[in-house]
Structure 1
Amino acid sequence: MRVVADIPHPEIKITLLAWNGKYLIKLELGPFEQTYKVNELDVTGGDEEVKKWLDEEFLQQSIELFLTMRNNLHQARRRHDY
């Protein structure tokens, strides 16, 4: 696995990786992680094209998904008395 880029963002850690014919967009916030896999053959503009996808709308929706993930875990723990 090769790190293509670490992309700065004030709230989340963003890493673009290349592995096994795919680009991996890895987003991290606290203990949570989202990974999106894209076939390299589907990206005509290489890693620069993938970086453009990481616009404000995509990142805001990803942050909202992190909040949903945290809530899902919290609710599961509450159901089981943790």
Structure 2
Amino acid sequence: MYFIGELKGSSPDLKISLYKWNSKFFVKFETPDLEQVYKISEMDVSEDEIREMVNEEFIEKIITRFKEMYQDLGELMGDY
């Protein structure tokens, strides 16, 4: 997998990275404990288009999903 770079919107709490592998772009969102990865065919979008797509509105949705994931994990861990 080839690391292209970190995307705008990264912070100490949320790292946003762009990779390329096997004719796909991988947009990876990471917190200290969880990650979300979106795979997009390079036939559908360019690197510049991906950088535009990862905007504040999309990042807010990612953060909301992370909160849900942390809640799910907390509930799961509480069962043990």
User: What is the aligned counterpart of 2:44 among 42, 45, 57?
Assistant: 42
Q: Partner amino acid for 2:31?
A: L
The structure whose Rg is larger is 1
Structure 1 residue runs without a partner (length 5+): none
* Offset from partner CA, 1:25-81 (integer Å, 9 cap, x none): 0000111000000011011xx211101011000001101111100000111122x2x
Q: Any runs of at least 4 consecutive aligned residues in structure 1 with deviations exceeding 4 A, and if so which? A: none
* Partner Cα distance (2:43, 2:14) in 1: 27
**Number of residue-to-residue matches in the alignment:** 78
Q: Is the 8 A contact 1:21 1:39 kept in 2?
A: yes
Cα displacement (A) at 1:3: 0.9
Aligned runs of 1:1-82 on 2, under 5 Å? 1-8=1-8, 9-10=10-11, 11-43=13-45, 46-78=46-78, 80=79, 82=80
What percent identity do the matched residue pairs reach?
32
Residue identity in the other structure for 1:26: K
Higher helix share: 1
RMSD: 1.1
Gaps of 5+ in 2: none
Paired with 1:6 and 1:58, the residues of 2 have a C-alpha distance of 16
TM-score by length of 1: 0.88
